[in-house]
Structure formats: structure tokens, C-alpha cells
Structure 1
Amino acid sequence: MEQIKKLFRKLKSKSIIKNIVVLVSGTMAAQVITLLTTPLITRLFGPEIIGELGTFTSITEIIIPIAALAYPIAIVLPKHDIVAIKLIKLSVVIALILSVISLMLILILNSINLFDGMDTLNIALYFIPLVIIFSSLLQVSEQWLIRKKAFYITAKTNFLYSSLFNTSKIVLGLINPVSIGLIVVTTLGQLLKATMLSLNNKNNIINSYRIYTGNNEISIWLVGKKYKDFALFRSPQMLLHATSLSLPVLLLLNFFGPAAVGFYTISRTALNAPIQLIGKAVGDVFYPRISEAANNQENLYKLIYKATLLLGCVGIIPFSIIIIFGPTIFEFAFGHDWTKAGSYSQWMAIWMFFLFINQPSIRALPVLKAQKFHLVFTFFSLIVNTLGIVISYHYFKSDIISVAVFSLTGSLSNILLIIITLVISKNIKRGFLE
């Protein structure tokens, strides 16, 4: 306990905490809007419609990590802005190419009627090329602001975007509560947020792009080659990780139908609030900080350990409440039809807690040059999680048991990832990162 108190006292005076507070305040306001509107949205649409949206979202979550081959994540790292701008240009070019390829694949998939009997999802596939472009623009905008440490802009935008996005869902539900409408709003939402982030800054990305785009001394392809580990290792790792997160949705849809997907989607949305509120804020601020620490040859183990411990102290209470009172809370908040989602959430809260505290480790791995390890680790985790759900369904035919097994295997994977990251950071040689 004394160690924890000492940690909080030490961090109080540091700028990293001020940046986290700025991000958390904006994200908190955004999450309050989401939490206040979700009970109304669930009553307007119902489990099956939310389930169809959840299926589409799960498909796009698998695609988004490879939309620009993870090059946007590298924008924070270069010493000079001109290199970062070249990475932005490369990211957009790759996204445009992949969006065209995806459209061609969708035409082929829809010719075989991939989602038999689910016309909405077959139509929704045509939105994927737009998702690739819009999500890439969003990633580029977010990473540029992280690079510039313009956390106030991100915080303000998060609140404004959440207000517009959730209001749009409610208006749609009152006029015509159909899943395709939710899918359109979700797709356009990424473009809206990217635009808000890009323009809401006097030193915004567009002005910076105009300054540097005429400089052809550095080829975008040479920059791409320098940061190729993001394309070779980080992009497929993120693809596998997103597949692992979306896996329950696709398997629940196949085994138990859209309603089960609806329960899972609402549970994940609710439990994801603290991850977006605090975990992501800590990760966004921690990323440039640990990159700077590596360049200065500071003790990286200490940084990762303290950040992980801090998140553990913050997250233990809210996630424990869900583990104990999940069904009661969900029935009260979302209505009687969603009580089963509360049962899902009791198991998912265990997994989401470890997702919450692993943010420093995830952000540290590129700096530790351990992206190849991260790729291999994620691959084996995906196999274990898949086998867990399939085997539990085979033997028990229960959606709750399937969710429980997935959550427990996911928890163990995240614990192991944190431990290995700490070991790597402790044993890394000075000068390795130069």
C-alpha cells in the first residue's frame, strides 16, 4: 500500500499526469454521453438489430488494423515532422489501394451470398471500402495529435463527436429503427471524427502537410522501408488481435444467432468504457513518453511497471462491481430484455480488466523492438481462444459458458503478455534502441 501511495505522490507533479487528466476529462464526458444514451438506444433497437450492427462492427474491426498497414502508428516516432508527413502520405496511398482491392473482393463474396438469409449484412459489406479510407484518415489524425501532444484537441473532439454520434442513433431509432441505418451512421462517424480532429487545431495536419508535401528529398517509399516492421509485424499482429476480439461475435452468430451477438455487443460496449476512458488515455500519453525515455536510455522496466500498477489500482473496483452485480446492473440500465447481457458481462469483466491494464505493455512493444514477438504471441493466443470457444460449444451448447471460456483464456493471455513485456524491458541492453 505504501508503494502505491508513493507512486501517486511521485506522479502528481509530472506532465504525463496532466496530459492524462486532459485526455481522461474529454473522454469521460464522451463516455457519460454514451452511457446516458445507450439505455434509450437499446430500447429503440433491440438485441437482434444491435446484433447485426455488432457483426458488421466486428468485421470492420478485423479490417481496420490493416487499412494502412499500421504505418499511422509510426507517425509519433520520427524526430522530424517531414518524415511524419511522409508517413501520413504513405498511409493514405496504401488505404486507397486496399479500398479498391476490398471492393473487388466484396463483389466476389456477395456473388456467393456470404451471409445467407441476412440481406442487411450482405449490403453492409459494400461499406467496407469506405471504412478502410475513413478509418485510415482517423488513425492518421489521432497519431498526429499524439505526436504534437495536442491532447486538449483530442479531448474536446471526443466529447463533441460522442454527442453528435449518439444523438444520430437516437434520431434514427425514433424515425426508422433498422440496422442498416446504424451501419451507415457508424461508417460516416469515422469520417466525421477524422475531419473534426484534423481541422480543430491551428497547427493542424492539413497545414503541416502543405508545408512539407513539396519536399521530395525523402521518398515515401524509403520512409516506408525504414518503418517496415510496422507493416511486417505490427499490422498482422493487430489483425490477429482484432480477429481475436471479434471472434466471439462471429462464432456466437454462427452457434446461437443475432440475439446472442446483441448481448455480447452491449456487454463489450459497457465494459469498454473504462478502457476508453482511462486505459487508452494512459496509452496515448505513455507512447511518446516511453519513446522519449528509450532515446534517453531511461529505465523502461520501471516506467511500464508503474503505469501497469497504476491502471490496476484504478480498474479493480469498477470491474469487480460488474463481476458481482452484472445481471442486476444491466437489467436496471438497459431493460429486462438485456439481463442475459449482464451474465455475459460477469465473465467478460475479468478479461476486460486485463485488457485495461495491459495498455502500457502494448504501447511499449514497438519501442522495445519486440513487434515480431508480439505477432507470434498474438497468433498463438488466437488459436487458444478459438479452440476454447469451439470446444466449450461442442461439449456444453451454452453461450454463457462459451463466453466464460473465451474470457478466461483471454485473461491468461494478457497476464502472460504483461509479464513477458516486463522481462524484455528489464533485460534490454543499453544502446539497443539507438
Structure 2
Amino acid sequence: MPQSELANSGMNPRRDAPDTRSGRLRGQIQNTLRSSLLRNIATVVSGTAGAQALTLAFMPVITRIYGPENYGVLGVFMGLAMMLIPVAALCYPTSIVLPRRDSDALKLVKLSLLMATFVSSLLAIFLLVAGDWFAEALSVEAAVPFLMLLPAVTFAGAALETAQQWLFRKQLFRVTAKAAVAYSLLHNSIRSLAGLVSPTAAVLVVTTGFGPLLHSALLLLGIRKGPPLQVKPEVEQRQSPVRMRDLAGRYQDFPKFRAPQMLINTVSQNLPTLVLAAYFGPAAAGFFALCKQALTMPTHLVGKSVADVYYPKLARSIQHGEPIAGTVMKAVAGLAAVGLVPFALVFATGPWLFATVFGEEWRTAGEYARWLALAEYAVFASRPCTVAVPALGLQRLSLIFEICSTTLRVSALYFGAVVLGEQMDTVMAFSIASIIIYCALVLVVFIKARAWYANLSHADHAD
């Protein structure tokens, strides 16, 4: 019998079995590489990587043009903006990926923009009436000339988040990737060229503050040039339309629990910049602002990209009653392994690294960076747990957790700035508090994810 016929006949199973197993293994690897999840992650990561690489390339130029004090004024202004942007639309944009029907999601898009308009208008009225008092109460007088820019920047940031969530829902990750690269190139070019003409805090604040508006415009341009976003009839399931008011009620956990939680979180995250500016001057705030921007790049490069893809995946898994605890923990372990080397490198060589890359006057920022790298590493690894919170409907628990964690951060800042009275001690205390917080978050989400599936399985058996 010919060898080929012998192989096909199955008469030599001992010899054929390894080939069969290796063939199945190759097939599994190929299927994994072709999976839509990995393709989506790769697309988002590539776009974010390109954007962050461009930003990193421009940062040594921008830091040398403007200097620590101007950067500190920017840090104070953007700290205020970043506190407001996540809650400007009352966190309704985060719910856009959740409805089964596209028509409901589109109504959530409109609801998000309406809420952002309302909140930004209220903010503008408040700043007109009590802007000076507000700045004095927070000891951020350096930001007084730019306070009236906050409403516009806040609305633009909320519109950007809304557009991104719609694109994530529609799996149009290529559009977001291209827009991210184009935005980084244009935005940093504008900041650099404007600084060469007038290297002042006002120029830096204005050119940076309107970045979300530019990014939103690029996303809209990508949507218009891309395929039409049609609402598929088969997805609509032939159900009667749902009113926007009913959708607002259905997802009321987002404004009731997630919005306060996000506000508290962003306040606690940006509070160090304000505290350092108030107690130690704009230069100290500038050092911290640069550290945060540089060290959050890995988080945005991989952590946020993975999270943006995993969030709709987790939402679908939960809709179908599938276990997610293992998926979340594998993602945490993977990110922890990926981030270990770069964050350890910053901890070991921070002062030299910052002085070499950004200029000698930024060496103190490198001292900050050694401790902030440890905190940012914890943030980086815990990103899958962060997106699992809204998917599991843990808004109420998340709010309680955020109140406790913010109390810990504020206590750490008070101890460092007021009791010890040292810049470095303040940064160290804040970093240690952040590490404790995000390790606790991973543990809480893991426990809740397992409990959710156990309860679901018990309910199915009871039925």
C-alpha cells in the first residue's frame, strides 16, 4: 500500500497521532490570531501607540519651550477640566455600548450630548458669578485668567467620550486609531509652533485645552468618510421604540452612582497637582503634571486599549450569562507582566531619565516619577477591573469604594503637604495610597464577579 494511502487509512495511529495533535494546535493558534478580539485590540493598540509615540517625540520640545512654571499653570487648569469632563454627561456615554438595539444606543448618544450641554451651561453661569471666589477657595489663582474656558473644554471632552463609545459599540476601531494618530500630530504641532511664537502659560493652556474639540472633529470626519452606520432591523427585534426618558431611567445607575464615583475619582487623581501648586508653587505642580502625562502613556497605550475592547466583550458575556472572573483576572495578569519592565525602569533611573529627555531643569520631576511609577503600575494592571465595574452593574458598590479610596488619598496628601511639609513626601504618600487602592479594587472585582456567576447558576438550577 502506498505511504499516502497508509496514512489516510489510519492503520498507523501511533505515528499519525503527533501530527494530528500538532495540526490541531496550529489550527487553534491560527484561529486565535484571526479572532476578532485580538484584531480589535491590535488595531486600538497600534493607533494608540502611534499617537503616544508622536506625543512622546514632541514632549522634549514642549517642555524646553514652556518650562516648569508654565507647565504648572497648565497642570492646574487641566486638573480642573479633568475633574469635570468625565461627569459632564452624567456618565451616560458609558452606557452606549450596553443596549441590544442600535436605535436605543443612538438615543443615549443624544441624551449624553444634551446632558453635557446642560452641565456646561450651568458651569459657565457659576464661573461668571463666583469664578474668583472658586479659584481663591481652591488656592488656584494661577488658573483665574482661563476659568471661562472650562465650560467649552468640558463640553468638548464629553462629546469626545460620546463619539468614542459609539465607535466602540460599532466595532469601528480603525476609525478611532486613525483619528488618534492624526490628533496627536496636529495637536502637538500646534502647541509647539504656538510656543515658538509666544512661550507663555496662556498659549499653552489654550492650545492644550481645545484638544478634545480637535479630536472630536477628527472622529466625526472619520465617521463621515467611513461606511454608513446603519441600524440593522434584525438587531431591533421588532420591539416598540423606547423613549429617551425611559432609557434615562433604565440606565439611571450611571448618573446616580457612577457619575459621583467618577467625580470623586478624578478629584482625588488630580488633587495632587492642585495641592502641590497651593503649598509649593506652580513649578512643583509642573513637575507632577509632566510625570503624570509621561507615566500614563503606557496605561493609555495598552491598558486603555485593552479595556476599550474588553468592555463591550464583558457586556456581551454578561448578557449571555457567561463567567467573566477568569477572563478579567487573566487580563490583569497579562497587563502586570507587560508593564513590569517599563515601570521598573522608571523607578530605577527616573531622575537621570527625565533630565536627559526633558532637560536638566526637570530632574526633580524624575524624583517624583520614581514613586509615581509604582502607583501607575497598579493602575495599569487593574484596567480590566475598572471596566468590569459598570458591566457587572456595581455602580453602588463602586461609589462606596471610591469614597473610601478618596478619603485615603486626601489623608495621604494632607499628611505629606501639611504635616511633613515636603514635596517629595507628599508624592510618596499619594503613591502608596494609590497602590493600596488599586490592589483592593482587583480583589473586590474578582470576588464580585465570582459571586455574580454563582448566583446566576443557582438561579438557573432553581428554575
Amino acid at match of 2:446: L
Match of residue 371, structure 1, among 391, 395, 400:
395
Give the deviation of 1:16 after TM superposition.
1.4
One-letter amino acid of the structure 2 residue matched with residue 430 of structure 1: L
Matched, 1:152 2:174: yes
Higher alpha-carbon deviation: 117-126 or 243-252: 117-126
Identify the match of residue 184 of structure 1 among 194, 206, 209.
206
**Partner of 1:317 in structure 2?**
341
Residue 76 of structure 1 pairs with residue 100 of structure 2: no
Rate the CA distance shift 1:395–1:175 in 2: closer, same or farther, 3 A: same
Task: Label 1:129 to 1:394 Cα distance change in 2 as closer, same or farther (>3 A).
Answer: closer
Matching residue of 1:34? 55
Once the two structures are TM-superposed, the CA of residue 15 in structure 1 deviates from its matched residue by 2.3
Measure how far apart 1:141 and its partner are: 0.5
- How far apart are the structure 2 equivalents of 1:353 and 1:403? 15
- The CA distance in 2 between the partners of 1:192 and 1:426, in whole Å, is 42
What is residue 413 of structure 1 aligned with on the other side? 437
SS, match of residue 69 in structure 1: coil
- What are the superposed Cα offsets for residues 24-76 of structure 1, whole Å, 9 maximum, x if unpaired? 11111111111111001000000000000000000011111110000001001
SS of residue matched to 2:456: coil
| TM-score (structure 1 length as normaliser) | 0.93
Where 1:351 maps in the other structure, the secondary structure is helix
How many residues align structurally?
423
Match of 1:342 in 2: 366
The answer to whether structure 1 residue 228 and structure 2 residue 249 are counterparts is no
Out of 77, 80, 86, which is 1:59 matched to?
80
Give the equivalent residue in structure 1 for 2:71. 50
Give the equivalent residue in structure 1 for 2:423.
399
| Alpha-carbon spacing, 1:132–1:289, altered in 2? closer, same or farther (3 Å) | same
Contact preservation (8 Å) 1:120, 1:179: no
Deviation at 1:89, TM superposition (A): 0.9
Residue in structure 2 matched with residue 93 of structure 1 by the alignment: 114
Structure 1 CA distance for aligned equivalents of residues 303 and 155 of structure 2 = 26
The counterpart of 1:269, out of the listed 293, 296, 310, is: 293
Shift of 1:332: 0.3
* Aligned with 1:333 (options 357, 379, 383): 357
Give unpaired runs (5+ residues) of structure 2. 1-27, 234-238
**Cα deviation, residue 217, structure 1:** 4.1
Contact kept, 8 Å, 2:132 with 2:144, in 1: the verdict is no
Q: Which residue of 2 is the match for residue 242 of structure 1?
A: 266
Asked if 2 retains the 8 angstrom alpha-carbon contact of 1:368 and 1:433, the reply is no
Distance in 2 between the 1:291 and 1:276 partners?
21
5+ long unaligned stretches in structure 1: 1-7
* Other-structure match for 2:456: 430
Q: Tell me, what secondary structure is at the counterpart of 2:223?
A: coil
Q: How far has the Cα of 1:202 moved from its partner?
A: 5.0
Deviations 1:188-214 (A, max 9, x none): 2211111211220358799669x9xxx
Deviation of 1:302 after TM superposition, in Å, equals: 0.8
Q: 2:125 aligns with which of 77, 101, 104?
A: 104
Q: Contact 1:49–1:262 at 8 Å: present in 2 too?
A: yes
- For the residues of structure 1 that align with 2:114 and 2:183, how far apart are their CA atoms? 26
Alignment check: 8 A CA contact 1:295 1:433 kept: no
SS at match of 1:83: helix
Distance, in Å, in 2 between the alignment partners of 1:14 and 1:316 is 27
Deviation at 1:118, TM superposition (A): 7.1
Distance 2:180 2:54 in 1: 10
Is the contact made by 2:78 and 2:209 (CA closer than 8 Å) also made in structure 1? Answer: no
Counterparts of 1:198 and 1:319, CA distance in 2: 35
Instruction: Work out the CA distance in 2 between the residues paired with 1:395 and 1:330.
Output: 28
What is the distance in 2 between the residues matched to 1:281 and 1:120? 34
Q: Do residues 114 (structure 1) and 138 (structure 2) align?
A: no
Structure exhibiting the larger radius of gyration computed from Cα positions:
2
For residues 60 and 433 of structure 1, what CA distance do their matches in structure 2 show?
A: 45
Q: Report how far residue 13 of structure 1 moved.
A: 5.0
Aligned twin of 2:312: 288
- Does the Cα contact within 8 Å between 2:88 and 2:155 map onto a contact in 1? yes
Q: Which amino acid in the other structure matches residue 162 of structure 1?
A: S
CA distance in 2, matches of 1:346, 1:246: 18
The equivalent residue for 1:3 is none
Match of 1:170 in 2: 192
- For the 8 Å contact 2:71–2:289, the answer to whether it is kept is yes
RMSD of equivalent CA atoms: 2.4
Q: Using the alignment, how far apart are the partners of 2:201 and 2:240 within structure 1?
A: 46
What is the distance in 2 between the residues matched to 1:252 and 1:113?
A: 18
- Cα displacement (A) at 1:14: 3.2
Q: Cα distance, 1:99 vs. partner?
A: 1.3
For residues 383 and 217 of structure 1, what CA distance do their matches in structure 2 show?
Answer: 43
Q: Which residue of 2 aligns with 1:252?
A: 276
Residue 323 (structure 1) shift? 0.6
> How far apart, in 2, do the equivalents of 1:25 and 1:352 lie?
21
> Which digits, 9 at most, give the CA deviation of each residue in 1:396-422, with x for residues without a partner?
221011101100111110000001100
Aligned equivalents of 1:73, 1:119: Cα separation in 2: 33
Return the letter of the residue paired with 2:150: I
Maintained 8 Å contact 1:23/1:152: yes
Could you tell me how far 1:351 is from its partner in structure 2? 0.4
2:157 is matched by which residue type in structure 1? Answer: S
Q: Taking every aligned residue pair, what percent have the same amino acid on both sides? A: 32
**Partner secondary structure for residue 46 of structure 1:** helix
1:315/1:114 Cα in 2 relative to 1: closer, same or farther (>3 Å)? same
